[in-house]
A and B are shown apart, each in its own frame.
Chain A
């Protein structure tokens, strides 16, 4: 064994350690099963009611995917408009920025009044929730494009549509992707939280229902499922980023990226 452990191995060791502790601490009686059921009993609970969890997962996934389409599609579209045209920017941006600071979850009860307690109200809430950061990032991504690049393209005879396809879109992609990462994560949060509040289906609903009857293993099985959902989403985004981003380093957009990601990581829930 070499003297130094790489960061990656260390990270894996930490995860394995935490998993082991999760199993051992409750078993040894150091933590009451009500607070933290052991990993094996959590998995067991999930396994015995696999059908129920599977159905809940399907509902949640459906809501996440539809909300994601609304949030990302709408966010990119409106962000592109707001980012490239100064007039709508002046009108809309101050509103959007202050809206971003409002804990949007206060709107959720209103949505249930309008749309019922089915999937529609969750989709509406999560879409709006994830829409804002996507839009802000897209708008910022387009505004931070170096005007010299557009001037250079024009000097080479690029038409408006060529400038859009060959300059504006590729230059904005890194920032837009970081917006999608934040926006997508918020969509998952939005769906699960709204399911926990007022609902009749989905993982959030299961967690909330089992909590009221103090069935901790079933609660944690739901939590695990949400965790996997988030990890899966992250993996997808990573894959897209790798596919799309040769230019992560050394671009202005790449730097703007980090600012947005870090400032947007604290959503007001």
Chain B
């Protein structure tokens, strides 16, 4: 497990030295207003809100990876387990100052869970008491998109979704991440 501790150390160090900071509440509330706006725009269709959040996250992830690589100066991961450590201990540390626990690996090492003790995005949040939101809305779904977008840019196609959330009354917030495939380099389509 030394690669995990190494990743932790890298993450901590980067957070302390290379990351420009901003008040956490500003970020929390800004994210809250984004979700609130989506809920309003989609008229309480929470499935659609989840989808939009994921899409926003995807857009962010595709650009965020560059910032991640520039700051961390980390090379290619040897395997998906190492990737998981980097996501949790370095990625989440740099951008949200947390390090969700990597756990519940499948035996083929292609699927793991991130368990969030802390989630700054959801700090001031209570879901609407409308009898549906707690069953349908994944408040932090943007994070799934961020992972998908970021990893796609480094040749990994993944699928990520939340399986539980304390906002829904669950005891933990857990995201499931599965590796679909490594994307081979492809020649760009021939131009006319």
Q: Decide whether A and B assemble into one complex.
A: no
